[in-house]
A and B are shown apart, each in its own frame.
Chain A
Amino acid sequence: MRTVMVSALGIVLLAALIHITAVLSLPYLAPKNAWARVSALSEANRMVVLPAASPSHQSLPLMASDVRYSVCRFNLDSGPVRLSTQILDDLWSIALYTPRGENFYTINGRELKRSRIEIIISTKNEVGVKAGASLLDEIEDLVVVDSPVREGIVVIRAPLLGPSYAAQTEAALKRGACSRKLPASNLIR
């Protein structure tokens, strides 16, 4: 009787340990996580407009066929990265992710209230911007985002208002850029 109790307890404890280990390690072990997929699409600090989702191809799983996406895998190892894009509609959104898929920053067209946006992504205090607020006052369409990670992913989502908007939306996304070049005059390096 005692042996059975001890065995049962051993099974429960060991099972719990295995369960916890599996859950916590999976984000690091999953071979086809979003970071792996985005890394395969392009080099770092380069904006890529994803081909429209179709029956034969989806760059990321469960993409919407009525949304156009562009992605940029940023790397801040050698300094801040600048993201610039048009915002054609209130529904457009810009989302920043850690390599583990944590969406640490999101802003959409309705909140931005402007048709063009520049975002400087930097690790904390690295840009050397004297004061974020005053900088924003000076340059209307510049936003500085502190990134908790040195590498991550930007996803711009552009929902289509209808099929006829596809070409115009894709063209606007193509004009977006992700680069290491900063507007030098306004930032102290």
Chain B
Amino acid sequence: MRSLLNLLFIFIIALILGLGSAWYMIEEGSALTTSRVGPWSVWRSAGKPDADPYTKAHMARAGRLPITATSALYFFANDDETGNSLLSSCEYVVEGRPLNAAWWSLAVYDGTGRLIPNKAGRHSFNRTDVARRADGSFRIVLARSARPGNWLPTAEQGSLKLVLRAYDLRDADSVLDKAAAERGLPTIRKVVCG
């Protein structure tokens, strides 16, 4: 009886550890599969036929069909620069220089991945429709109510998710190079909450 209980205990602990670690590495990624650059994280092998099993499992669960990471990259941010969750109740400034891609688009979703309804019908800014400064850099403001310039409307409440997609990248490897990427990817700065 004692040894049977022992076996059951071993099995339950193994089940928790095995499934828990699998879930975490598939859902959140790990050093094996994802790179973190400032607030952004990117699945390095998304869409590649020779991707590792974690990346394939993640994409299957997400139900997405990303373009192969050799020619496009998708960066996700749930947090701001300081590591706090992005919230609709706060205002953020996203500033950056154009990515080295033929086309890029920065879009905001709510925490569950839905687009946020707003009167302006505005959910993203991209390489062609963002207003830029003379030196090519841009500044996008995430806020509930209208702001001058590039205003990306957010929801009444709840968390936010930013997706930066870059199509036809000139050099995916250099974007994934941490130092280069940190110079190239936009920053997400909290301005005020309330």
Q: Which residues of A contact B (CB under 8 A)?
A: 3, 7, 10-19, 21-24, 26-27, 30, 32-34, 36-37, 53-56, 58, 60-62, 64-67, 90-91, 93, 95, 97-98, 100-104, 106, 108, 110, 148, 153, 155, 157, 159-163
Contacts and interface: CB of A to CB of B under 8 A. Distances in A.
Given A22-B22, A101-B66, A148-B49, 20 more contacts: A11-B10, A14-B10, A15-B17, A23-B26, A26-B26, A30-B60, A53-B123, A54-B115, A56-B117, A60-B65, A65-B123, A66-B123, A93-B167, A98-B49, A102-B56, A110-B168, A159-B105, A161-B129, A162-B129, A163-B121
A23 B167 CA distance: 29
A30 B71 contact: no
Contacts, number: 176
Say whether chain B's binding surface is mostly helix, strand, loop, or mixed.
Answer: mixed
Nearest to B57: A26
B154 to A, nearest CB: 12
Contacts of A102: 47-49, 51, 56
B150 interface: no
11 contacts: A7-B9, A15-B14, A23-B53, A27-B56, A60-B63, A64-B107, A101-B65, A102-B48, A155-B65, A160-B129, A162-B128
A64 B167 CA distance: 12
A68 B105 CA distance: 13
A91 B65 contact: no
B60 A110 contact: no
A86 B164 CA distance: 27
Nearest to A102: B49
B68 A30 contact: no
A91 B163 CA distance: 19
Given A102-B48, A104-B49, A110-B168, A10 B105 contact: no
Nearest to A101: B59
